Amino acid sequence: MDPVPWARAQMAFTLAVHIVLVPLGVSWAAMTLIANYRAIKNNDADAMRLAQRWSKVMAVTFAVGAVTGTVLTFEFGLLWPQFMSQWGDAFGIPFAIEGLFFFTEAIFIAIYLYGWKRLRPWPHFWSGVPIAVAGIGGSFAVVAANSWMNQPAGFTLDAAGKIVDVDPLGVIFNQATPYETTHMIVAAYLVGGFMVASVYAFAMLRGRTERYYRLGFIIPFTVAAIATPVQMVVGDFAARSVFHDQPVKFAAMELVDQNATDVPETLGGYLGSDGEVHLGVPIPGLASLLSGFSTSTEIDGLDSVPASDRPTVSQVNTVHLAWDVMVGLATALLALVIWFAFVWWRKRALPRSKWFLRFGAISGIAAVIALEAGWVVTEVGRQPWIVYDYMRVEDGATTNSGVWITFLGVVVLYAAVVVTLIIVLRGMAQRWRAAELAGDEDIDPHDTPYGPRSHRERETERV
Amino acid sequence: MTLADVIAVILLAGVILYAIFGGADFGAGFWDLTAGGAARGAKPRLVIEESIGPVWEANHVWLIFCLVVIWTCFSEAFASITLTLFVPLSLAAAGIVLRGSGFAFRKVVVRTRYRRLFGGAFALSSIIVPFCLGAVAGGIASGRVPAGGTTGDLWDSWLNPTSLVGGVLAIAVCAYLSAVFLVSDAHRLSDQGLVEYFRRRAIAAAIGAGVIATSGIFLLRNDNRFLIDRLLGRALPVVLLSMVLGVVGLVLLVRGAATWARFLAIGAVGSIVAAWGVAQYPYILAETLKIETAAAPDATLWTVLIVFLVAVVVLVPSLGLLYVLDQRSLLDVE
């Protein structure tokens, strides 16, 4: 069987699963540290309990994130060996840097997670700070590599197309790096914040409105609330940059078939094979206005490049739909954030409406969908290129015909892991809840942070 | 020594570190698997969990490090390896997922049934992964991976005598390292019974690994002349060093000096991997592709070298901190 479609499916699937764990890996440590800081500073038992529990859950999600990330590392070779063979000299550089950050993250996450009981409070808190820093650095490096696929730079080719010289800084800081990396790092905080907050919104809907749950909602939701408006500005900037750097991708996002001015922003709708936009609600001139600050801005159409150099019609429609979904959900989340901010400003309290909590409870899922949609725009919008304007996806793929088997295997394996992850996390929550109802949580010496040194350790010291 | 050689040495160092630290974690899975029923195996499993819990993710990064160095600095070799050794690498990737998630899940569930299920996934994959990676090494070392980013024989490249010896040796070496480490860990917990438990296993694994490694040299004379000639030629001092360290380590184990045995085990395993590297030099893929030919442009190699040096400055103290805290029992499971 032709391995190319299977390789694409497998890469898309494994990335789509991994990317859900990424926001947790990048931003949850920061949120945990906020709770931890408040706990130590104000002697806040609720915040302490949150920080401890979050770190326990984080241990599990980080482990699953680490192994699904490893699969992606393998897949660069297993699925895209020719791509790596030709471009590894340049493309690999950001990954070398990412490795450094990932290593730092893995080391300090271990110290932080396992240090609760026996380290002193402030040193323990500080051992968590490198996790948050490395999360940001690691995202920057990985996304810089993806940016390079969109805006390849920093290399010299010989006549045969082989890389003969590399400018490492040119690779890392390619044209797309500033906006893509910022967009993803902010997204990690936005999505991570809404994901964690939605769990507590759900708990509050079930009537658990004690301070512990409110705090568990407010800390991550505030993080998301700060990230959301920032993301709107960054996203707007990113879209305009795509307009300049990758006109074909932009044409797909906006359903522009032929070069035109006064291009409408079409909500919904699809591009027919006749090159016409069907259905959809056009807002006149808005796409032109947003891309060049004037309705007379000319936007290149899909037709500006030969059909073989641009996404197919169905890919164009996928990109446009994903683009609409991302912007639409982000706008809805912004509205939720404004609601929260307004009430907080006036009353220093959460909105009392059940509807706020209902929307809060689904905000996590909405944010994840927006994140996935954003990656669909980036990746499908680049088709048919794996390296924009340099290498086509099919030229980078493996020739091994058995990829359909590994694809099926990966789907089964990941389905099992994801379902188990959800069951295991729910089980942890239920156990904690049961312990609370039984009232033995606070007297359980095993869960006391920074507690008296245990018998075993004293014995070790004697030895 | 060219810049590409320096990078190749760094890559070899990465492989050695992964073999030692990652290997010990895999070996822990081997002992977990063979620890018997839930009641009988409870105590050894607890030590295993406490011992690798905080460190396995950091140790695992060495594998990522090796992959990144190969694909960035020797991308042609990387393409050939992943094309040819598609099957064992796919199995290894699946095993890594099962292993990491199985271990993480087991730690947070309480019911015996689930602990058994996740523990089984963790332990079984702890054997599959080193076997596959050992087989991959065997395929590379026996000249079965062609140059030029092309596909060799999909099956013979890893189901051949050298790969089979490589795979089995990897399992044995992991079990050996892990048992030696676990003796110290049991010692720290002041559990004499467990010290004895792991000491006996360490001795058995040491003998097993030694027998496989030594007989491998004779078994593979016909399959892999290139490697064996060089192991008994240029790399002979390193091979002998490994044997001496292994034997002395075994004597120490028998006499119950586990702390020192640990360092000798690290030395024995490290030097046998180093011997492979010395024997294979100047080839990155034995007999087919030279380091110099596969190397990326100098600017790329310099970048990787600089990142590596930064990593040494940042990560060595961090890793040191992690291991010291771990060894002093300041890091605690649950």
φ, ψ (nearest 5 deg) of residue A315: -65, -40
As a whole number of Å, the CA-based R_g of chain B is 20
φ, ψ (nearest 5 deg) of residue B151: -95, 130
Provide block-wise average pLDDT over 10 residues at a time, chain A (463 residues). Answer: 92 95 93 95 92 90 89 93 93 93 89 86 92 95 96 92 92 95 97 96 91 94 96 95 94 90 89 86 89 89 91 94 96 96 91 92 96 96 94 92 92 92 88 78 54 45 37
Establish if A252 belongs to a structural domain: yes
φ, ψ (nearest 5 deg) of residue A283: -105, 110
Establish if A410 belongs to a structural domain: no
Residues of B in Cβ contact (< 8 Å) with A114: 53-54, 326, 331-333
Q: Which chain A residue is nearest to residue B314, measuring alpha carbons?
A: A104
Provide block-wise average pLDDT over 10 residues at a time, chain B (334 residues). Answer: 93 94 90 84 85 80 92 93 94 91 83 83 90 94 88 89 93 94 85 89 93 88 87 92 93 85 93 93 90 91 94 88 79 62
Closest partner CB to A66 (pick from B67, B100, B302): B100
Establish if A457 belongs to a structural domain: no
Establish if A89 belongs to a structural domain: no
Q: How many domains does chain A have?
A: 1
Q: Which chain A residue is nearest to residue B296, measuring alpha carbons?
A: A89
Smallest Cα–Cα separation from B162: which of B134, B127, B132, B130? B134
Residues B97, A102: C-beta atoms closer than 8 Å: no
Residue of B105, B113, B132 for testing the chain A interface, max A β-carbons within 10 Å:
B105
Closest partner CB to B332 (pick from A60, A62, A114): A114
Read off the tokens for B53.
Answer: 């819990």
Establish if A299 belongs to a structural domain: yes
From residue A226, give the alpha-carbon distance in Å to each of A182, A219, A223, A239, A351: 14, 11, 5, 21, 17
Please check whether residue A28 is in contact with residue A188, taking contact to mean a CB–CB distance below 8 angstroms.
no
Residues of A in Cβ contact (< 8 Å) with B154: 400, 402
Residues B108, A424: C-beta atoms closer than 8 Å: yes
C-alpha angle with apex A317: A312 to A322, nearest 5 degrees? 125
CA distance B93 to chain A (A): 6
Establish if A309 belongs to a structural domain: yes
Please check whether residue A147 is in contact with residue A89, taking contact to mean a CB–CB distance below 8 angstroms.
no
Residues A92, B300: C-beta atoms closer than 8 Å: yes
Measured from the Cβ of residue B3, the count of other Cβ atoms closer than 10 Å reads 15
Measured from the Cβ of residue A144, the count of other Cβ atoms closer than 10 Å reads 24
Mark A329-344 as b/e (b = at least 16 C-beta within 10 Å).
Answer: bbeebeebbebbeebb
Q: Which chain A residue is nearest to residue B315, measuring alpha carbons?
A: A104
CA distance B50 to chain A (A): 10
Average pLDDT in chain A: 90
Alpha carbon A80 to its chain's center: 23
C-alpha angle with apex B26: B20 to B27, nearest 5 degrees? 85
Which amino acid, one-letter code, is at B220? L
Q: Tell me which residue range forms the domain holding A299.
A: 194-245+247-381
Mark A236-249 as b/e (b = at least 16 C-beta within 10 Å).
Answer: eebbbbbbebbbbb
Classify residue A293 by burial, with Cβ atoms within 10 Å: 0-12, 13-18, 19+.
exposed
Q: Is B283 left (phi over 0), alpha (psi -120 to 50) or beta?
A: beta
Please state, in angstroms and rounded to a whole number, the distance separating the CA atoms of residues A285 and A254: 12
Establish if A300 belongs to a structural domain: yes
- Is A293 strand, coil or helix? coil
Contacts of A307 (CB under 8 A, 6+ apart): none
- Is A157 strand, coil or helix? strand
Measured from the Cβ of residue B319, the count of other Cβ atoms closer than 10 Å reads 20
Read off the tokens for B50.
Answer: 């406490």
- Is A56 strand, coil or helix? helix
Residue of B63, B99, B108, B319 for testing the chain A interface, max A β-carbons within 10 Å:
B108
Per-residue confidence (pLDDT) for residue B39, from 0 to 100: 82
Contacts of A194 (CB under 8 A, 6+ apart): A220, A221, A224, A333, A363, A364, A366, A367
Residues A85, B75: C-beta atoms closer than 8 Å: yes
Please state, in angstroms and rounded to a whole number, the distance separating the CA atoms of residues A166 and A451: 54
Per-residue confidence (pLDDT) for residue A80, from 0 to 100: 95
Residues of B in Cβ contact (< 8 Å) with A457: 329-330
Name residue B53's beta-bridge partners. none
Per-residue confidence (pLDDT) for residue B119, from 0 to 100: 85
Please check whether residue B49 is in contact with residue B333, taking contact to mean a CB–CB distance below 8 angstroms.
yes
Q: How many helices (H) and strands (E) does chain A have?
A: 14, 8
CA distance A216 to chain B (A): 21
C-alpha angle with apex A445: A440 to A449, nearest 5 degrees? 110
Sign of the dihedral through C-alpha A384, A387, A389, A391: negative
Residues of A in Cβ contact (< 8 Å) with B133: none
Per-residue confidence (pLDDT) for residue A444, from 0 to 100: 45
Residues B303, A96: C-beta atoms closer than 8 Å: yes
Establish if A447 belongs to a structural domain: no
Please state, in angstroms and rounded to a whole number, the distance separating the CA atoms of residues B7 and B302: 9
Residues B90, A409: C-beta atoms closer than 8 Å: yes
